[in-house]
Amino acid sequence: MIILHDITYTHSDKSVLFSAISFNVQTGDKISLVGNNGAGKSTLLQILAGNLQPTQGHLTSNSKPYYVPQHFGQFNADSVAKALGIDHKLTALEAILNGDATEENFSHLDDDWTVEERAREALSHWQLEDVDLYQKMQTLSGGQKTRVFLAGIRVHQPEIVLLDEPSNHLDLTSRAILYGYIETTRDTLIVVSHDRVLLNKIHKVCELSAKGVAMYGGNYDFYVAQKQVQSHALSQDINNKEKALRKAKVVERETLERQQKLDARGKKKQEKAGISTIMMNTLRNKAEKTASKLKGVHTNKGDAIVGELRVLRKEVPDLAAMKIDFDDSDLHRGKVMITAEAVNFEYEAGQLWQSALTFEVRSGERWAIKGANGSGKTTLIKMILGACVPASGNLFCAAVHTIYIDQDYSLINNSLTVFEQAQIFNQGLWPEHEVKMRLNRFLFGSEDWNKSCSALSGGEKMRLMLCSLTLSIRPPDMIVLDEPTNNLDIQNLEILTRAIGDYKGTLLVVSHDDSFLQEIGVAHYIAL
């Protein structure tokens, strides 16, 4: 069981990430932790794992959690055994078996005589038979690193498991193993993920937002349905407030007009009655004060409604506005863009693909490249982009304007500010106010314009990349997306899906996310 009570986390710059977070996790619970980019999901997982301390509040757990991180760069210099936290046990076991039966070695081993056997079995379960426990992590691919840490669950056999984007970098086979674990385990699970297939296998959702946490008793589809109900109610609230504001303006105008008529009639009566000038001035001042008071009352009421509207509208980001509104490509639909005839690539070990690749991509089509980790998806992309050449066969790629967007959004220059990055793509075409207006449309307010791109999250870089593309003079004839959904939260995934859905050119995508491929209308596949 885990109990969080009034957990607050404050950044070093004194900005509050979240505050007064309280909820309980019962033994055996499986919870997906969701929330918009920057809500603090990964930070909360780190606090639960004991890797970060909250600024305020306290946490109680009846067992030490096992944590699978989202990023692995800090482990590159470590061996697989050290990354798994079993290197000291393995060293002690080997020493004891070689006759060095010291008290220190027995203390390090802690009676865990099967640790090496479990570790090798766990690696085999995750299809890592070729990975050695003493191999450096930096020699492994992203998918292999993820599977190493997932294998640690079988090694350590914890009661509580924390998973931060566990399906990132995993191919379909590895995802199937992960899904099987999610469905069958009796471990207590807390999962951060954008993988909707995975999220629908978990039947409790915890939403983290600036308001705190909200629990939903159902899977991700149920959560989305509930959010749609709430969104509809929010839209109704906004409509009602807008009606109230319009009515308040009408009432204000009518009240002032009525008062002005009364004042005018009163003035005529006073003139006929021969009231002195001094008294007339006194009565006029009194009338003006009454009118001013009435106007102030109605203005205050209107301002209050405007303030309420502003708060409500902040809760509804204009996702529809975030689209790649390019002009259509100059290429006619159906023009041959890529032709591959019996194409293959060679490494020292031999040919990359057992069967040579033959396919044809035409303008306006949407293709996906699919295959297991190590099947050569990135190599094929490099061939298409001209970064390498095939060892055999013929590959024709039309001379067209292509934009390549990888999962790290490398087109973003980390040494620039957000506004400077947008200007790089602007090429002097749009005035400054238009650039800033588009940045606002993609959720970059004035407080973000001078922020360094190096400080942006993956989702923020994706939004800035899309925004920058809308400023480009020439629309790309083809966009190549390499694992675009990795490291994106649900909101940013929806933004990307909507934006790509509006693009009229040719699309080539590398992704393991079948839901994403279906939603963006991929109709053709290259299976490796």
Residue 503 confidence (pLDDT)? 82
Look at 7-11, 12-16, 230-234 and tell me which has the smallest mean pLDDT: 230-234
As a three-state string, the secondary structure of 182-231 is HHHCCCEEEEECCCHHHHCCCCCEEEEECCEEEEECCCHHHHHHHHHHHH
What pLDDT score was predicted for residue 84?
Answer: 94
CA distances from 106 to 6, 115, 460, 495, 501 (A): 41, 13, 50, 55, 60
**Is residue 318 very low, low, confident or very high in pLDDT (cuts 50, 70, 90)?**
low
Only one residue has tokens 């693909």, namely 353
Which of these, 472, 514, 493, 509, lies nearest to 319 by C-alpha position?
A: 493
Per-residue pLDDT at 314: 60
Q: How far is Cα 494 from Cα 319, in angstroms, rounded to an integer?
A: 8
Asked if the model's pLDDT at residue 294 lies above 60, the reply is no
Contact in structure between 31 and 190 (CB atoms under 8 Å): yes
- Model pLDDT for residues 326-342, shown as the tens digit of each residue: 555 566 778 899 999 99
The average pLDDT across 183-209 equals 92
Give 387's contacts (C-beta < 8 A, 6+ positions apart): none
Tell me the C-alpha distance between 146 and 137, whole Å. Answer: 11
Take residue 191 and report the two structure tokens written for it: 């999962």
Question: Residue 351 in contact with residue 391, Cβ under 8 Å?
Answer: yes
Burial class of 13 by CB neighbour count within 10 A (0 to 12, 13 to 18, 19+): exposed
Higher pLDDT, 311 or 452: 452
Q: Closest by alpha carbon to 210, among 496, 17, 3?
A: 17
Q: Identify the H or E element spanning 60.
A: strand 56-61
